[in-house]
Amino acid sequence: MRVFGIDCGTERTGYGVIDSDGRTHRMVAAGCITSSARDPLELRLLHIAAELRRLLSEHNPDSAAIEEVFFAVNAKSALKLSHVRGVAMLVVAEATVKVAEYSPLEVKKSVVGYGRAEKSQVQQMVGSLLRLSAPIASEDACDALAIAICHATHAFVAQMEARA
């Protein structure tokens, strides 16, 4: 199964693509869609949507996963993040790809085994699970890969439970 993970942000939206059988994962691609804080929000959203459309078309995933909104420092930040999530979900739906959502706690628990893990622990485990020779430099791309791994693991467990 090919999973496209998305870590939404108004200035940096991370993406990560993995191939997985639910137990073993291989990174296909990872990166960050960047936009300038000086640009109006609607232009940033347009840029994010265009890049996500291109990436989804290029990688042709079986499913996608997005991190749920957690608390933000202020309501304005949470609203902007919600706009990006909405754009991401719309673009994934347009590509007729099923999308799943996971809380930050679920992602960390799935990848590290502990829901309150630090960013550095997530980064280390993502590198280990994907058998990478060097850690992912971008936190946003690393988080997107962690979201993809979380989804692949959850999908595998659900498939095994359905067979039982």
Total-model pTM: 0.95
Which sequence positions are flagged as catalytic?
7, 67, 140
What pLDDT was estimated at residue 71?
59
pLDDT digit string (tens) for 109-145?
A: 999 999 889 989 999 999 999 999 988 989 999 999 9
- Structure-token match 């869609």, residue found: 33
Confidence of residue 72 (pLDDT cuts 50, 70, 90): low
CATH of the structural domain 2-163, one choice from 3.30.420.10, 3.40.30.10, 3.40.50.300, 1.10.1380.10: 3.30.420.10
Q: Which of 47, 53, 55 is nearest to 9 (CA)?
A: 47
Which sequence spans correspond to the domains of the chain?
2-163
